Each structure stands twice: as C-alpha cells, then as structure tokens.
C-alpha cells in the first residue's frame, strides 16, 4: 500500500460521526526517504540544512536529522528546539534579531550568524566583546539582480532583507574596525518557491562569482556561502515540478568553480517538508449561492493559511465516506466547479477557488496535498477559537 493510500485508510478508520474530522497527517517514512535522496544527490562539498520556519514540528525534525548536516533558525524559539541536536551545525537568520537571540547564538558557538545590516553587525560586535568571544558572521546581501520568476522575491528590489549590494564597499570598511567579528561567509537567500531549475542554477553561479570577487577585493578568508532555500512546489500544476535531477547535476558541474575549502549550503524548507504533509477536513455543508457552488469544511485558513495568503487553489482530492448517520437526505454537489471554504466568519477563508469536482457530499473528507510546509504554524489558530486539528504521524 502506498503512503497516500495508507493515509486515506487511516482517515476512514479514525473518522467519527460525532466529531467532524479535521487533522494534519504526516508521512514520516516518505519525508525521511526524501531527505536522504536530496542529501545523497549533492556533492560532498555542499551541505543540506533544514530551514525550520517551513515546519518546526519536533517529530519532523527528528525524522530528517540523520540526513541533514545542519539547521537554520530564525528565532530564539527555533534555536532552543535544536538543543536536542548538539552534533548538527546551526545558523541563524532574520531581519530583526533581538539581543537575547544574538547572545544565545554567540554563547552556543553556532556555525554562523547571518547579519542583515551594519547596525546588526555593530550589536553582534558589542555582545561578542562583552562575552569575550570572536564571532563568525556571514553578511546577507540583497543583490542588484536576483531570480525574477519566483513566487516571492527578497532581493533584486527594495525589501527589508539584507545589505544593499551597492553599499558593500563602505560597510566593509566600517566592519574592519570591529575586532570581535570576522566575515567568513555570505548569505544570499533571495527567493521563495522558485520553480525554474535553470534560473536557480544561474543564481547559484552568480553567488559563487560574487563571493570569490569579494573575497579577493576585501581580503577575506571565506569558508561559507549560503544560497538560502527558495526551491518551490508547484501547487497549481503538480505535474510540472522543480527539476531537481537537472539542478543537482548542474551543482556538481559548478563545483569546479568553487574553492575546495568553502562549505556551500542550501537551507531547504518547503521543498523538503511540503510533499509529506496532508490536511484533512470533513465537509460540513454544500450549497449554491448566486450561481456559484460552495463547500464548507470543518477547518479552514486558521489551520491552513497558505491558499488564502497566496489567493490560490490548494491541491486536493475528495475521500468518499459512505456512512451517513443522519435520518435526513444527504446534501451533495455533482459536476460542479466548487469553492471550498472554511468555518471562519470571513469571506477570505477560502482554500479552493472554482475547481471542478465530480461529486462531493456532506460527510466526505477533503484531503489537501502538499500541506507539510508553511501551513499550520503560519496560520491564525485562535481566530474564532475553533478547535485545533489532530496531529497524526504515519
């Protein structure tokens, strides 16, 4: 039995007529195998890190920890969750790091702090001086040109992230006056959910070229270049995925241009976790309103915020539930383009927008695929104080 079929079987076993079904289900075996495959496909010089912001669920982290070299944390809370993995590298990111976060990172001798601005570097220096430790930093650079086709971009345009590439000469001069910090790397996280493998390879090549140029220009001793994550999932067209095999092959070829003492890092999040999480929600009502077909479910964007945030239709399938407990006729929709909405009192609580559905009935289960990343933890759980979904690990 495939993982997907096993998940459907488990849902039907657990469904109770008295309590509408709502759950996240994680395919732990599939996640482990995926992490192992990705790590094995990369050159030895390239390290796979996990970006915890995608999904910090401890069960998932334990599942992948054998197959990643390190973790990227964007808060003190995330960093604290990594104390269980003393043998893994840790790096920290984020545009508004607190002194408390920086102190913890420095005290724990993490692999690298990704510095977002000159002011942040000055604070790192002050804290390092107080703690009597010299600190390695990687400057996060907002490149003048970055990938243009990704869903979200954090570089190549004005954003709150990183140091403007054009200001690098003056900032380098200022940092030279700070003896408790040492620039040993660069961080280039520029995009989110990029689907173009060729464009991503060109981006990696550009970053390598820039890092080598700056190492020579500013007399640095680099040993770390982090390309960020940003490799995407095609939610709308699952048959057109990011071409990882071609990307991996291209990375092997690019290694001829990278100094052998550099650690090259991809901090993957969505691409690692998304395919192995599912969100299941029971159908509570179906109806037509002004000529448009609606399905409402037990759950919604307070559990799975991504489709509402991106104004997209999340990929789904309908699991037919044949049992019917009510002494009433069973409402259904047939051969309709449906909008699937949640239980919140707002018209923005929409998970699917006008997708064709052969048949869907009250009491069936809508199973949303690719819900393992940027799903539960980015959602506004307490809005209307509805119950939380179950967390199920297969």
Judge whether 15 and 282 are in contact, CB under 8 Å. yes
In this predicted structure, what is the pLDDT of residue 153? 62
Choose among 315, 313, 308, 243: nearest CA to 274: 315
Question: Tokens 């915890």 map to which residue?
Answer: 52
Task: Report DSSP state, residue 231.
Answer: B
In this predicted structure, what is the pLDDT of residue 133? 96
In this predicted structure, what is the pLDDT of residue 191? 80
CA 169 to chain centre: 32
Same domain as 149, residue 252: yes
pTM for this one? 0.94
Instruction: Among 268, 295, 327, give the residue marking a domain's end.
Output: 268
Same domain as 298, residue 233: no
Q: Which active-site residues does the annotation give?
A: 345
Question: Tokens 């790192």 map to which residue?
Answer: 124
Using alpha carbons only, what angle is made at residue 364 by residues 292 and 287, rounded to the nearest 5 degrees?
20
Question: Tokens 């991809």 map to which residue?
Answer: 266
Instruction: Among 235, 268, 301, give the residue marking a domain's end.
Output: 268
Phi, psi (degrees; rounded to nearest 5) at 265: -125, 135
One-character DSSP codes across 262-321: PEEEEEESHHHHGGGEEEEEEEEEEEEETTEEEEEES--TTT--HHHHHT-PPPEEEE--
Same domain as 16, residue 152: no
Domain boundaries, position 107: 93-268
- C-alpha–C-alpha distance, residues 65 and 63, integer Å: 6
Is the residue at 185 inside a domain? yes
Report pLDDT digits (tens) over 271-316: 999 999 999 999 999 999 999 999 999 999 999 999 999 999 999 9
In this predicted structure, what is the pLDDT of residue 163? 93
In this predicted structure, what is the pLDDT of residue 148? 59
Low-confidence stretches of the chain (pLDDT < 70) are 1, 16-18, 146-157
In this predicted structure, what is the pLDDT of residue 313? 97
Same domain as 342, residue 204: no
Residues with Cβ within 8 Å of residue 50, at least 6 apart in sequence: 35, 61, 64, 68, 70, 71, 72, 267, 268, 269, 272
In this predicted structure, what is the pLDDT of residue 296? 98
Q: What's the number of domains the chain is made of?
A: 2
- C-alpha–C-alpha distance, residues 293 and 316, integer Å: 16
């Amino acid at each position: 039995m495939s993982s997907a079929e096993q998940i459907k079987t488990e849902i039907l076993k657990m469904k109770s007529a008295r309590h509408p079904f709502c759950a996240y289900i994680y395919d732990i075996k599939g996640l482990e195998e995926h992490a192992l495959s990705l790590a094995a496909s990369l050159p030895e010089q390239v390290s796979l890190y996990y970006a915890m912001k995608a999904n910090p669920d401890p069960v998932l982290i334990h599942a992948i920890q054998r197959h990643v070299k390190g973790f990227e944390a964007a808060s003190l809370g995330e960093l604290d969750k990594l104390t269980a993995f003393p043998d893994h590298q840790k790096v920290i990111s984020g545009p508004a790091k607190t002194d408390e976060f920086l102190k913890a990172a420095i005290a724990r001798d993490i692999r690298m702090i990704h510095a977002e601005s000159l002011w942040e570097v000055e604070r790192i220096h002050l804290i390092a001086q107080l703690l009597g430790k010299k600190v390695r930093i990687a400057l996060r650079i907002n490149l003048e040109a970055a990938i243009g086709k990704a869903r979200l971009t954090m570089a190549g345009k004005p954003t709150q992230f990183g140091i403007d590439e054009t200001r690098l000469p003056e900032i380098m001069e200022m940092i030279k006056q700070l003896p408790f910090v040492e620039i040993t790397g660069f961080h280039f996280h520029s995009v989110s959910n990029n689907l173009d493998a060729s464009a991503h390879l060109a981006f990696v090549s550009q970053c390598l070229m820039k890092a080598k140029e700056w190492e020579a220009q500013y007399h640095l001793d680099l040993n770390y270049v982090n390309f960020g994550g940003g490799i995407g999932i095609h939610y709308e067209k699952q048959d057109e995925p990011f071409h990882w095999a071609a990307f991996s092959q291209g990375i092997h070829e690019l290694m001829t241009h990278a100094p052998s003492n550099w650690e090259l890092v991809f901090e993957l999040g969505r691409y690692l976790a998304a395919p192995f999480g599912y969100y299941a929600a029971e159908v509570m009502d179906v109806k037509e309103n002004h000529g448009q077909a609606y399905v409402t479910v037990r759950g919604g964007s307070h559990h799975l915020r991504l489709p509402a945030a991106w104004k997209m239709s999340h990929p789904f399938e309908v699991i037919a539930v044949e049992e019917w407990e009510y002494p009433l006729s069973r409402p259904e929709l047939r051969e309709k383009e449906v909008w699937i909405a949640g239980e919140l009192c707002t018209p923005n609580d929409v998970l699917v927008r006008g997708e064709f559905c052969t048949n869907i009935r009250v009491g069936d289960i809508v199973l949303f695929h690719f819900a393992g990343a940027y799903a539960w933890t980015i959602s506004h759980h307490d809005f209307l104080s509805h119950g939380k979904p179950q967390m199920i690990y297969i």
